[in-house]
Amino acid sequence: MLSYIARRIMIAIPTLLVLIVFSFLLMHLAPGSPFTQERAIPPEILANLEAKYGLDQPLYVQLLQYIKNVVFHFDFGPSFVYKDRTVNEIIANGFPITLTYGVLSFVVAVVVGVTLGACAAIYQNSWLDYITVGISIGAQVLPNFVMAPILVLIFTLMLGWLPGGGWEGGQWQYLVMPVIALSTSYMASIARLTRSSMLEVLTSNHIRTARAKGMPARRIILNHALKPAMLPVVSYLGPTFVAMVTGSVVIDMYFSTGGIGLAFVNAALNRDYSLMMGVTILVGALTILFSLIVDLLYAWIDPRIRH
């Protein structure tokens, strides 16, 4: 197990470096400087500005400096647009919000999805099964940017139950729609995955043996069927997590929740390169960390993977 963990970490480190270098080069290969504006800046001021942000150095010096700052000091540098704020401050502002509804959506997607899928498999061909299958097929075509307006239409404009946006310190009314919008399509996929793998496991030999021994159905399912049935679901957790983070862009835009997604889109519109890179690298690091956790979880469930 230890050597497996070590091997996995050996892949994670270069991945992060590639991400940093790649996004850095993309930014710096772009035509025009971040200070290109409609009204030309006098050359002396431009030179001063570039000196302040280190843009007058050769590219590789800038790159090494940037990597050093990010890796050793967690410092993403100053924002190119908001002159008095650093990227770290902007991220620290929005990240807790994104984390709150992101983690909630993730938990909802996994818990509801697994429960629905497992129940559908246990009561195969019952009304519960049909409803689950129906929902999971239908929800495939309801990504977050489709769910968000539909939810607002129903719960805000028609029923008037929930506020159409805002955050207000994360009170539950402001959380309901973002969480549903983010989790629906992934909940459906997880339910479908769980159902099909559970059906397969329930017909396998070790379950039949447990039944023949007279073990109660509840214990068979909880102790023997659930763990192997979880394997495909666990490998799907990585993509789900990425989708929650990516989806936060839509959620922040549509519900004005003020997470890092908003910072990212605004940065894209303002060409605030350092902020875009900061968010991308943070998200990438989280993704890499999470896929590491998922792989370890997978190896723990299925000992065959380790070797």
Partner 1 sequence: MLTDTGKIEEMATRMAEQDVRGRSPWADARRRFLRNKAAMTALVVLVLVALFAAFGAQFTSFNNEDIDFMVIGQVAELGYPSLASGHYFGTDDLGRDLYARTVQGTQISLMVGILGAGVAVVVGTLYGAISGYVGGALDNFMMRIVDVLMAIPYMFVLIIMLTAFGRSISLLFIGIGLLSWLDMSRIVRGQTLSLKHKEFIEAARASGVSSAKIILRHIVPNLLGVVVVYATLLIPSMIMAESFISFLGLGVQEPDTSWGALISEGARTMKFGTLWQLAFPLFFFVVTIFAFYFVGDGLRDALDPKDR
Which spans of this chain sit near partner 1 (rule: CB under 8 A)?
Answer: 11-12, 14-15, 18-19, 22-23, 26-27, 29-31, 140-143, 145-146, 148-149, 152-153, 157, 164, 242, 245-246, 249-250, 253-254, 264-265, 268-269, 271, 276-277, 279-280, 283-284, 287-288, 291
* Angle of helix 87-122 versus helix 231-255 axis, rounded to 10: 130
Residue 78 φ then ψ, to 5° = -80, 155
Question: Which of 12/108 has CB closer to partner 1?
Answer: 12
Q: Which is nearer to partner 1, 140 or 171 (CB)?
A: 140
Q: Cβ 247 to partner 1, closest distance in Å?
A: 9
The answer to whether 129 and 181 are in contact (CB under 8 A) is no
φ/ψ region of 155 (left if φ > 0, alpha if ψ in -120 to 50, else beta) reads alpha
What's the closest the beta carbon of residue 16 comes to partner 1, in angstroms? Answer: 8
Cα separation, 264 vs 277, in Å, equals 9
How near is the Cβ of 214 to partner 1 at its closest, in Å? 34
Q: Rank residues 80 and 167 by Cβ distance to partner 1 and give the closer one.
A: 80
For the CB of residue 114, give the shortest distance to partner 1 in the complex, in Å: 23
- Minimum Å gap between C-beta 222 and partner 1 is 30
Q: Between 111 and 153, whose beta carbon lies closer to partner 1?
A: 153
| Cβ-based nearer residue to partner 1, 53 or 115 | 53
Nearer to partner 1 (CB atom), residue 2 or residue 141? 141
Minimal distance in Å, beta carbon 207 to partner 1?
22
CB of 211 to partner 1, least distance (A): 27
**Closer by beta carbon to partner 1, 212 or else 269:** 269
Give CA separation, 83 vs 19, 36, 94, 261, 272, in Å. Answer: 26, 15, 18, 20, 11
